[in-house]
A and B are shown apart, each in its own frame.
Chain A
Amino acid sequence: MKHSFVDRFAELESPLHLLDARTKLIGFIALAAAVLYIPPGNSVAFFAAFFLLAIFAGISQIPLPYIVGRTLVILPFVLLAALAAPWGGKDGWTRLAVLVLRSTLCLLVLILLTNTTRFVELLRGLRKLGCPRILVVNLSFLYRYIFVLSDEIMRMRQARDSRRVGRVAISTEMKTLGSMLGTLMVRSFERADRLYQAMVSRGFSGEFPVAAPRSFSWRDLAFIAVVALFIAATVYL
């Protein structure tokens, strides 16, 4: 089955991809925070942020349809969450617009971050930035199991749907789903246990080695400089 939601374009080799994961983590998070600090009236800064992100998106070589598509997938949720804003006082619609604008810009930042960094490298960056080891190990397990598990869950769902005809009582539905989830849990636990035993017996100690780790270079410096410049500019504009 197809899995296309995880770091799909992280294998490209654009200048952004070549950056150290730590640089990107810090830079992009700072950028997102800076976007959130732009006051509602400062349109110039919003446009500046949009330009900067457009240029980054161009540099990253990620196909434009993918970026737009991802944004459109998330946008309904943002709109749904923002739905109550127009009733909150006189400037309701402006607030709605600002909310959606900020969210969209931050969403672009997030898309750029995850699609220019291989997940393994992202985890290594997180680890080097002081993220607890157990959390990083957990994330890397999740990254490896999720494909197997979502395959399993799709098969189970197919099996359920092909056996169920018409409407069933809600309590029956609940019971089925509970058993499905329980089965999934037991199966995946047994598989994970076998896998883990195999890993430990081959010398796994809680760290995943990375084949070709990137290192800090002039590119990272340039990237940080651009982000810093943008933040400074939005503050003074």
Chain B
Amino acid sequence: MHIPDGFLTNRIALSMDVLSGATVLLAAHRLKLESAMRLIPMMGVFSSFVFAAQMLNFPVFGGTSGHLVGGALVGILLGPMAGLLTMATVIIAQALFLQDGGLVALGANLFNIGAVSVLIGYTVYRLFGSPEAKGKRLSAAGFVAGWFSVVVSAAACALELGLSGAVPLKVGLPAMAGYHAVIGLVEGGLTAGVLSFLVRARPDFLKKEAAPRFGFWDGVGGLILVAIPLAFLALAGSSSLPDPLQALLPEPVAGAVEQESILSPGRADDLNRVLLYIGILVVGAIALLAARRLTSRGRPS
């Protein structure tokens, strides 16, 4: 579900960067007011936990596999603000370590996999289960929270891709939502599994202090945090106004879009083009080697 660079229009990608940046700053700010010092080791270990847990694959069907995404779980255990920051840490680390998800698309990924899954998971859990929930009720609430968190964030992802024109919305949305409706079963099952394990092994993890009281305003806040970016996204994607950054560029670029593309298929001199590409690769390799030779400090690498 990590969106690589190049799949979103710059307008959407950059808007999402700004929005997610603001959300993370807000979460960090709110957390500072609460007792953050006590949460720091929790958050640190939970982010590495989620990072590691995403490596534990689970066969779904037809050769595909799913794994725990963890947004709902982290939201339930740490509360929305700390959960959001924890997921943000994981997503940034995935982009930096594994090149999973792009640099400019980071904002969109932070929104889909971070904000949406944590807030949706947390809200749904709080609607279906209470902090003192045990047994079946706890499992059910965990399951529903996990399922919704995955499906909604997949839908947000498909929406962004669709509005960017990378993947047509008619194809992308049903495909993503449908596939993740199945993946969501795994996510829900695992969220429920971990919760019911924890309530037996370490009930103190599920104590109220870990997740502050969920009031009316928290619900409203969560809804706003998810709804405003979505509305904004819809506007940003569909508006016929020119892209603000595009407008800053001089005319030739706008004209260049209509130019014939060297990449378009089925044109006359295919062979020439292949030769051109090979030539470019060769020259690129030479440039690379020359640069390496010129700057190496007599140390064999």
Interface set of A (CB-CB < 8 Å, partner B): 5-7, 12-15, 28-29, 32-33, 35-37, 39-43, 47, 50-51, 54-59, 61, 63-64, 70, 74, 77-78, 81-82, 84-85, 87-89, 91, 93-95, 97-103, 105-107, 109-111, 113-114, 119, 122, 132-135, 137-139, 141-143, 145-146, 149-150, 152-153, 157, 173-175, 177-186, 188-189, 191-193, 195-196, 206, 235-236
Contact = CB atoms under 8 A, between A and B. Distances in A.
Given A13-B297, A135-B89, A146-B52, A236 B252 contact: yes
Interface in B164-206: 165-168, 171-172, 175, 186, 189-190, 192-194, 196-198, 201-202, 205
B270 interface: no
A153 B57 CA distance: 11
B196 A178 contact: yes
Given A99-B7, A107-B4, A64 B261 contact: no
Contact of B193 (A182, A191, A235): A182
B287 A58 contact: yes
- Which one of B2, B24, B41 has the highest number of Cβ atoms from chain A below 10 Å of its Cβ? B41
Contacts of B43: 134, 138, 141
Chain A interface helix/strand/loop/mixed: helix
Contacts of A89: 168
Given A58-B291, A94-B265, A138 B193 contact: no
6 contacts: A6-B97, A88-B171, A132-B29, A134-B40, A134-B85, A141-B45
Interface stretch (B99-107, B126-134, B214-222, B226-234): B99-107
A106 B102 contact: yes
Chain B interface helix/strand/loop/mixed: helix
Contact of A84 (B10, B14, B171, B258): B171
B97 A134 contact: no
Which of the four size classes fits the interface of chain B? 35 or more
B28 A132 contact: yes
Contact of B4 (A106, A143, A183, A185): A106
Contacts of A183: 197, 201
Interface string B279-292: 01001110111111
B189 A181 contact: no
B40 A36 contact: no
Contact of B192 (A99, A178, A235): A178
Given A41-B260, A94-B264, A54 B56 contact: no
Given A41-B256, A188-B49, A193 B41 contact: yes
Interface of B: 2-7, 10, 13-14, 24-25, 28-29, 31-32, 36, 40-49, 51-53, 55-56, 58, 68, 85-86, 88-90, 92-93, 95-100, 102-104, 161, 165-168, 171-172, 175, 186, 189-190, 192-194, 196-198, 201-202, 205, 245-246, 249-250, 252-253, 256-265, 280, 283-285, 287-292, 295-297, 299, 301
A47 B280 CA distance: 8
B249 A235 contact: yes
Contact of A178 (B161, B193, B301): B193
A157 B56 contact: yes
B6 A93 contact: no
Contacts of A7: 97
A135 to B, nearest CB: 6
A110 B99 contact: yes
Contacts of B4: 74, 77-78, 81, 103, 106-107
A41 B245 contact: no
A153 B291 contact: no
B97 A236 contact: no
A76 to B, nearest CB: 11
A111 B99 CA distance: 7
B273 to A, nearest CB: 10
Contacts of A97: 263
Contact of B99 (A41, A107, A145, A178): A107
Contact of B202 (A14, A146, A186): A186
A119 B100 CA distance: 17
A38 to B, nearest CB: 9
B49 A149 contact: yes
B260 A149 contact: no
A185 B90 CA distance: 15
A183 B90 CA distance: 20
B197 A36 contact: no
A101 B280 CA distance: 14
A10 to B, nearest CB: 11
A40 to B, nearest CB: 5
A73 to B, nearest CB: 8
Contact of B44 (A13, A70, A91, A137): A137
Contacts of A40: 257, 261, 263
Contact of B263 (A101, A132, A145, A195): A101
Nearest to B3: A81
